[in-house]
């Protein structure tokens, strides 16, 4: 039994329970939030190290042998995602110290954050398809409550779309799990993968795989099921937006990666072609939607959609290089996107608006903040030597090698349009003068009085450093992505690790 | 029995989607409730219905003898019911709050956040 495999789930769950116990003391909850997410990051790094050393980590709950018990499995992809969960959790916890309104903190912001992280970590580590559903629901319920904290009109409207679509996708997921169980009589993902080859009716398997694709596609905001995301992600307070933007949609992407490399590899020509076109259209619609927007967080929300397209592209091409690119893209994007939302929160703090027409002049007053925006923004657009360049480069190169020239052209065009909307933000928010109708200009000149001001900048600087490190010292991280991709390409390794019957 | 259940589940799915396509918030939630029940029934029935054969080990024996009902779908539906119940409780509170804040039951009037 490896303790590091259970800790990423246990730490946030315990922290969530403790935060509930200290309901009255906001100060204790704040301390607990930073400590627990720090521990989560630590356990993630530990898990990563053991995973590098041992290949696969498997823990069988209750010491029942594998197909009968619920298993936790960590392969390289899972370990990478857990480390990222830790990084984002810590950044959001620190940022929340300054940015969360008092009212939200009193109404359970921190316990919900911990439970969300527990759900995310559980989804990344579980090796049981029904448990994946359960962790999804843990995560979703926490996210529903976080999204509606505050209870403003826009939040209510956004939440209704978000909740409805996600419940719908959960119902599809549950039905698909049921049909899958009816076919193979097991819920262990490795066991399903093994037994699915001997099912009499391969057409039925494809139908179920498409149900999974649709359900996870809704959660990951892929075309044509993405419309709930730009309608809801810009409504809650900014730390919550950043957490959702970084982690939540990526859980859907992770589930797609897991299911479509491990379980449904029977009819690759059919399923992955659908994925390929979904990826292309996701990229295009996302970036065109962003180009039409003039609100800081809405632009960023639409960009989540377009970037999801790149990750799906990596999965859809289904070559080793493409999967490396996809994994690399996920790593880079989680960090960059969270960071951009956090920067938007700082400009909101300075000027009191997210509308581009009400913003301006930040470069004059806060040149370093402008630089901090520029690093993730250019990285998102794929400018070398930042992390996004390598991610895009690998994906594009993989699509060229697979002779998918139309998709390559779309990917490059989308990169260009991403640059356009990042420049739009840059010009409107940082470059142009402060608009005259903004009454609050004095706030920019006078120092904003806030004793927690450092808490805004520490996570932003930290995440920008991560972006730079991935960009400048990309080799070790590329090796990690390469290992993850080679494990994904050989599902036999996963099956043997889980069902091999090694006693721990 | 299974055939009849298949029809029942199909009708439930159809009814839930019809309800969710209406403009009223209340009907949306009713649709969600029916939808989750349809999915629950589906996972319950999918591995076949066995009547009067509980998976119990008789006194003195080491394993179940003869036919038995598959116990796993029952565990699954139990979990799924609990989850669906909590999520729907949240949804009901959400529409009540949304009705208070927005002041309308009409989804068409809730498009401020759309683009």
User: pLDDT at residue A504 above 50?
Assistant: no
Interface test with B, best of A141, A175, A233, A287 (most B CBs within 10 A): A175
A71-75, A146-150, A416-420, A453-457: range with lowest mean pLDDT = A453-457
Residue B98 with chain A: CB contacts under 8 Å: 156-157, 159-160
Given a cut of 70, whether residue B92 has pLDDT beyond it is yes
3-state secondary structure of A173: helix
For chain B, the structural domain boundaries read 2-49+71-111
A222, burial (CB in 10 Å: exposed 0-12, middle 13-18, buried 19+): buried
Substitution target in A115, A131, A156 with the highest count of B β-carbons within 10 Å is: A156
pLDDT at A358 over 90: no
CB A67 within 8 A of CB A501: no
When CB atoms are compared, the residue of A156, A167, A289 closest to B32 is A167
With beta carbons less than 8 A apart as the criterion, state whether A130 and A187 touch. Answer: yes
**pLDDT tens digits, B45-88:** 887 888 878 888 888 888 877 778 888 888 899 999 999 999 99
Q: Select from A432, A282, A292, A271 the least CA-distant residue to A362.
A: A432
CA distance A309 to A166: 19
Q: Tell me the nearest-neighbour CA distance from A338 into chain B, angstroms.
A: 21
| Residue length of chain A | 504
Whole-number Å distance between alpha carbons of B65 and A94: 59
Helix (H, G, I), strand (E, B) or coil at A128: strand
Which is nearest to A484 in space by CA: A55, A91, A87?
A55
C-alpha–C-alpha distance, residues A474 and A331, integer Å = 12
Q: Find the mean pLDDT for residues A455-479.
A: 89
Closest Cα of chain B to A175: distance in Å? 5
CA distances from A87 to A72, A90, A147, A460, B31 (A): 21, 5, 21, 12, 39
Question: A209: number of CA atoms within 13 Å, CB side?
Answer: 26
| B18-48 tens-digit pLDDT | 999 988 989 999 999 999 999 999 998 887 8
Q: How far apart are CA A359 and CA A424, in angstroms?
A: 12
Do the beta carbons of residue A211 and residue A180 sit within 8 Å?
A: no
Residues A160, B25: C-beta atoms closer than 8 Å: yes
A502 pLDDT band, cuts 50/70/90, is very low
3-class SS of residue A74: strand
- The closest CB to that of A151, out of B47, B76, B97, belongs to B97
Q: Which of A177, A185, A298 sits opposite B43 (nearest CB)?
A: A177
How many C-beta neighbours within 10 Å does residue B63 have? 7
> Cα(first)–Cα(last) distance of chain A, in Å?
5
* Mean pLDDT, rounded, for B3-21: 93
- When computed from its CA atoms, the radius of gyration of chain A, rounded to whole angstroms, is 22
Domain boundaries along the sequence of chain A: 3-500
- The answer to whether residue A64 scores a pLDDT higher than 60 is yes
Contacts of A292 in chain B (CB under 8 A): 115
A126, β-bridge pairs: A72
The pLDDT score that the predictor gives to residue A443 is 56
Peptide bond into A385 cis (omega under 30): yes
Q: For A318-404, where are the alpha helices, taking DSSP H only?
A: 320-351, 362-365, 367-381, 387-401
pLDDT digits (tens, 9 = 90+) for A227-262: 888 888 888 989 999 999 989 989 999 999 999 999
Rounded Cα gap, residues A416 and A424, in angstroms: 12
The ipTM of this complex is 0.93
Query: Cα Rg for chain B, rounded, in angstroms?
Result: 20
Mutate which: B113, B114, B115, vs A, most A CBs within 10 A: B113
Tally of helices (H runs) and strands (E runs) in chain A: 23, 2
Select the residue of A154, A168, A292 nearest B35 (Cβ to Cβ): A168
Nearest CA in chain A to B91: A163
| Model pLDDT, residue A20 | 92
DSSP-assigned states of every residue in A400-433: HHTT-HHHHHHHHHHHHHHHHHHHHHIIIIIISP
Q: Which of B25, B46, B48 sits opposite A179 (nearest CB)?
A: B46
Read off the pLDDT of each residue in A261-279 and give the average, rounded to a whole number: 89
Residue A72 pLDDT > 60, yes or no? Answer: yes
**Could you give the CA distance from residue A93 to residue A455 in angstroms, rounded to a whole number?**
9
CB contact under 8 A, A137 and B87: yes
Pairwise CA distance, residues A462 & A141, whole Å: 29
pLDDT digits (tens, 9 = 90+) for A101-139: 888 888 889 999 999 999 999 999 998 999 999 999 999
Tell me, what's the pLDDT at A452? 60
Identity of the residue in B32, B39, B101 whose CB atom sits nearest the CB atom of A175: B39
DSSP state of B112: T
Return the residue of B nearest to A294 by Cα: B115
On chain A, the residues whose CB falls within 8 A of the CB of B111 are 157
Residue found by looking up tokens 């301390």 in the block:
A31
| pLDDT of res. A448 | 52
- Calculate the average pLDDT of chain A: 88
Of A375-389, A447-461, B1-15, where does the model show the most confidence?
B1-15
Cβ contacts from A onto B, under 8 A: 110
Return the CATH fold of B2-49+71-111.
Helix Hairpins (1.10.287)
Give the contacts of A441 (CB within 8 A, at least 6 positions apart): A361, A434
- What average pLDDT does this structure show over A435-452? 57
Which chain A residues touch B114 with a CB distance below 8 Å?
A: 227, 231
For chain B, helix, strand, coil in percent to 5 are 65, 0, 35
Among A164, A211, A227, which would you mutate to test the B interface (most chain B Cβ atoms within 10 Å of its Cβ)? Answer: A164
Can you name the residues that pair with A71 across neighbouring β-strands?
A60
A174 with B40: Cβ contact below 8 A:
yes
Q: Identify the weakest region by mean pLDDT among A25-34, A399-408, B16-25, B43-52.
A: B43-52
């Amino acid at each position: 039994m490896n303790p590091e495999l259970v800790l990423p789930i246990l730490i946030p769950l315990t922290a969530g329970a403790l935060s509930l116990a200290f309901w009255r003391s906001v100060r204790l909850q704040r301390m607990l939030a930073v400590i627990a997410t720090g521990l989560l990051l630590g356990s993630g790094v530990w898990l990563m190290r053991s995973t590098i050393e041992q290949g696969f980590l498997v823990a069988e709950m209750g010491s029942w042998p594998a197909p009968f018990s619920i298993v936790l499995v960590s392969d390289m992809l899972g370990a990478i995602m857990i480390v990222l969960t830790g990084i984002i959790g810590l950044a959001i916890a620190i940022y929340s110290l300054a940015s969360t309104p008092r009212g939200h903190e009193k109404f359970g912001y921190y316990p919900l954050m911990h439970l969300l992280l527990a759900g995310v970590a559980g989804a990344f580590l579980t090796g049981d398809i029904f448990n994946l559903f359960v962790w999804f629901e843990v995560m979703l319920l926490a996210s529903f409550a976080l999204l509606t904290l505050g209870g403003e009109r826009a939040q209510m409207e956004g939440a209704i779309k978000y909740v409805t679509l996600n419940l719908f996708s959960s119902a599809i997921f549950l039905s698909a799990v049921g049909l899958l169980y009816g076919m193979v009589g097991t819920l262990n993902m490795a066991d399903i993968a093994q037994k699915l080859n001997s099912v009499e009716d391969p057409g039925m398997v494809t139908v179920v795989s498409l149900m999974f694709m649709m359900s996870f596609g809704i959660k990951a905001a892929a075309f044509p099921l993405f419309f709930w995301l730009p309608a809801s992600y810009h409504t809650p307070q900014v730390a919550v937006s950043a957490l959702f933007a970084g982690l939540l949609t990526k859980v859907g992407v992770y589930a797609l990666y897991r299911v479509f490399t491990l379980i449904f590899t029977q009819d690759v020509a059919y399923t992955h072609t659908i994925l390929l076109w979904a990826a292309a259209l996701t990229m295009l619609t996302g970036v065109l939607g962003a180009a039409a927007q003039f609100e800081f967080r809405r632009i960023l929300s639409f960009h989540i959609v377009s970037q999801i397209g790149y990750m799906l592209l990596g999965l859809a091409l289904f070559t080793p290089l493409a999967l490396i690119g996809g994994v690399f893209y996920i790593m880079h994007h989680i960090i960059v996107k969270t960071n951009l939302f956090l920067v938007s929160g700082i400009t909101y703090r300075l000027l009191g608006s997210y509308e581009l027409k009400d913003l301006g002049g930040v470069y004059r007053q806060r040149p370093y903040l402008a630089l901090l925006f520029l690093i993730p923004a250019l990285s998102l657009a794929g400018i070398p030597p930042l992390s996004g360049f390598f991610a895009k480069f690998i994906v594009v190169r993989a699509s060229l090698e697979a002779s998918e020239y139309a998709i390559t052209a779309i990917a490059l065009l989308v990169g260009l349009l991403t640059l356009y909307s990042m420049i739009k933000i840059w010009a409107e928010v940082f470059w142009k003068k402060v608009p005259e109708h903004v009454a609050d200009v004095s706030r920019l000149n006078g120092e904003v009085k806030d004793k927690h001001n450092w808490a805004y900048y520490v996570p932003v600087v930290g995440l920008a450093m991560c972006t730079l490190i991935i960009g400048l010292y990309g080799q070790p991280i590329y090796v990690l992505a390469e290992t993850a991709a080679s494990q994904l390409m050989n599902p036999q390794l996963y099956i043997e690790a889980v069902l091999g019957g090694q006693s721990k | 029995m299974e055939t009849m259940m298949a029809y029942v589940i199909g009708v439930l799915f159809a009814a839930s989607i019809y309800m969710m396509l209406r403009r009223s918030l209340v009907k949306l939630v009713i649709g969600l409730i029916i939808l989750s029940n349809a999915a629950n029934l589906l996972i319950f029935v999918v591995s076949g219905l066995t009547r009067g054969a509980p998976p119990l080990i008789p006194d003195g024996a080491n394993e179940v003898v003869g036919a038995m009902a598959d116990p796993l779908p029952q565990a699954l539906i139990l979990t799924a019911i609990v989850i669906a119940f909590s999520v729907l409780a949240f949804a009901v509170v959400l529409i009540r709050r949304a009705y208070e804040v927005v002041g309308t039951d009409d989804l068409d009037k809730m498009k401020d956040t759309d683009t």
